[in-house]
């Protein structure tokens, strides 16, 4: 298992780093949004007599965002791989599967090492060198 863990980590390290960075940027951009003022919301309100269709959420447009908030959609497309087409989406999906594999195999290897230490009668500790 260690061999698989090691080889896959070499291959997917760059992709996982890219996905982590774009995910963080996407969240930072979303958090930097500025909500429109009450006057702007009233100006963008639907005309009198307009009824929002069932199942729809009718809200006024957010307006033009500035700075990092204007890049929210772009960061999301980078993060999901959509910006690179079907190949990017496939790599993003495979990276998610690799991340699950690394988490589960890491826990499995840790438990095996823990049991081996217990079998040898070594002092029980959470972390060791």
Q: Domain-by-domain residue ranges, the chain?
A: 2-34+67-120
pLDDT in tens, 20-45: 888 888 888 877 776 656 666 666 66
Q: Can you give the pLDDT at residue 63?
A: 55
> Could you give the CA distance from residue 39 to residue 67 in angstroms, rounded to a whole number?
22
> Could you give the CA distance from residue 20 to residue 30 in angstroms, rounded to a whole number?
15
pTM for the model: 0.56
Give mean pLDDT, residues 79-86. Answer: 87
- In this predicted structure, which of 27-36, 103-112, 117-126 has the lowest mean pLDDT? 27-36
Distance in angstroms between the alpha carbons of the first and the last residue of the chain: 20
> Could you give the CA distance from residue 107 to residue 3 in angstroms, rounded to a whole number?
15
Q: Can you give the pLDDT at residue 115?
A: 86
**Cβ contact 69:34 at 8 Å:** yes
Does 67 have pLDDT greater than 80? no
DSSP string, 113-129: HHHHHHHHTPPP-S---
Does 3 have pLDDT greater than 70? yes
Short-list 74, 104, 76, 80, CA closest to 15: 80
């Amino acid at each position: 298992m260690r061999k698989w863990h090691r080889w896959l980590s070499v291959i997917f390290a760059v992709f996982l780093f890219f996905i982590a960075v774009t995910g963080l940027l996407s969240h930072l951009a979303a958090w930097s949004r500025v909500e429109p003022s009450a006057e702007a919301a009233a100006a963008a309100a639907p005309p009198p007599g307009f009824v929002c269709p069932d199942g729809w959420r009718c809200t006024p447009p957010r307006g033009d965002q500035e700075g990092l908030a204007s890049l929210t959609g772009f960061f999301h497309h980078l993060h999901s791989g959509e910006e690179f087409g079907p190949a990017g989406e496939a790599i993003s999906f495979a990276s998610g599967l690799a991340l699950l594999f690394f988490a589960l195999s890491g826990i499995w290897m840790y438990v095996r090492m823990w049991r081996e230490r217990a079998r040898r009668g070594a002092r029980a500790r959470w972390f060791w060198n």
